[in-house]
């Protein structure tokens, strides 16, 4: 059974069709990258999965059959979906530890929290910075903290929107290693990214979107050799 099924999803903003009957299925344990030029509909896809945008038609189902297009953001999150936003979205007035505490979600028992927070701190490498206000972290550290916040609830589906945008090469390599380490048999990860080297390093399969439609689905190596993908990315 798939972890996430997107079925004939159509999203329109006024007369502009952002997504046009897009379908894709992500398996548990898979890291899937969604790539495509600006305006292809990548972020819109994540907006629908996380409940921020409602589609015109189509369904998005999570593994156990919940239709995400009919659920609130909070209900989707409680069903095990977590999203890392493109712009690092951490709570600047709270410390790193307090951010992670909130990241654990409303349902985790108070007794289980300290251990969970400690393990996430170690995983994202911010243990020495636990007492620092998140607003004072460097850009890369904010990205890692936000990944930690979405990890703290042990999500079944992790959505990552351009996790290496604006990062240095060294930070990108660190992030790629972090995401590879997040892979688990019971967790699906959906990454949106422009950086092809990064996608090749983390993704099992890629879906190429172009003008709201699926252009290609398969391996990154196959995408590099696909004539239509080359045309969209490199121009005629």
Residues that bind other proteins (CB under 8 A): 50-52, 72-74, 76-78, 82-83, 85, 89-95, 98, 101-103, 105-107, 133, 135-136, 149-150, 153
Cβ closer to other proteins: 32 or 84? 84
The C-alpha angle 69, 71, 4, rounded to 5 degrees, equals 55
Cα–Cα distance measured from residue 82 to residue 50, given in angstroms and rounded to the nearest whole number? 8
* Least distance (Å) between residue 100 CB and other proteins: 11
| 103 DSSP assignment | H
Cβ closer to other proteins: 161 or 195? 161
* Least distance (Å) between residue 23 CB and other proteins: 24
* Least distance (Å) between residue 12 CB and other proteins: 21
Cβ closer to other proteins: 38 or 72? 72
Nearest to 192 by CA among 213, 178, 180, 206: 206
Cβ closer to other proteins: 49 or 229? 49
* Least distance (Å) between residue 50 CB and other proteins: 5
* 3-state class (DSSP) for residue 204: coil
* Least distance (Å) between residue 51 CB and other proteins: 8
Phi-psi region of 226 (alpha: psi -120 to 50; beta: other; left: phi over 0): beta
* Least distance (Å) between residue 76 CB and other proteins: 8
The helix, strand and coil proportions of the chain, stated in percent and rounded to the nearest 5, come to 40, 25, 35
Q: What's the token pair of residue 118?
A: 């400690």
Cβ closer to other proteins: 8 or 93? 93
Task: Write down the residue that tokens 């903290």 correspond to.
Answer: 145
Cβ closer to other proteins: 10 or 95? 95
Nearest to 20 by CA among 8, 31, 30, 29: 8
Cα–Cα distance measured from residue 58 to residue 44, given in angstroms and rounded to the nearest whole number? 14
């Amino acid at each position: 059974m798939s972890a996430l099924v997107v079925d004939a999803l159509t999203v329109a903003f006024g007369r502009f069709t952002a997504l046009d009957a897009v379908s894709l299925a992500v398996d548990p344990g898979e890291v899937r990258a969604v790539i495509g030029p600006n305006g292809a509909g990548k972020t819109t896809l994540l907006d629908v999965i996380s409940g921020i945008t409602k589609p015109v038609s189509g369904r998005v189902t999570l593994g156990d059959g919940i239709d995400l297009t009919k659920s609130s953001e909070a209900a989707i999150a409680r069903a095990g979906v977590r999203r890392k936003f493109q712009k690092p979205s951490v709570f600047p007035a709270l410390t790193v530890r307090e951010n992670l505490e909130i990241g654990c979600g409303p349902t985790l028992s108070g007794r289980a929290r300290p251990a969970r927070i400690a393990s996430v701190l170690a995983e994202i490498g911010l243990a020495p910075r636990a007492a620092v206000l998140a607003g004072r972290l460097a850009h890369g550290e904010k990205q890692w903290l936000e990944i930690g916040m979405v990890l703290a609830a042990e999500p079944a589906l992790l959505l990552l929107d351009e996790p290496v945008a604006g990062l240095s090469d060294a930070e990108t390599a660190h992030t790629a290693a972090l995401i590879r380490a997040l892979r688990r048999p019971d967790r699906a990860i959906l990454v949106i990214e422009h950086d092809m080297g990064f996608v090749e390093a983390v993704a099992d399969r890629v879906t190429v979107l172009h003008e709201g439609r699926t252009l290609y689905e398969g391996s990154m190596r196959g995408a590099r050799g696909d004539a239509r993908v080359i045309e969209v990315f490199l121009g005629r």
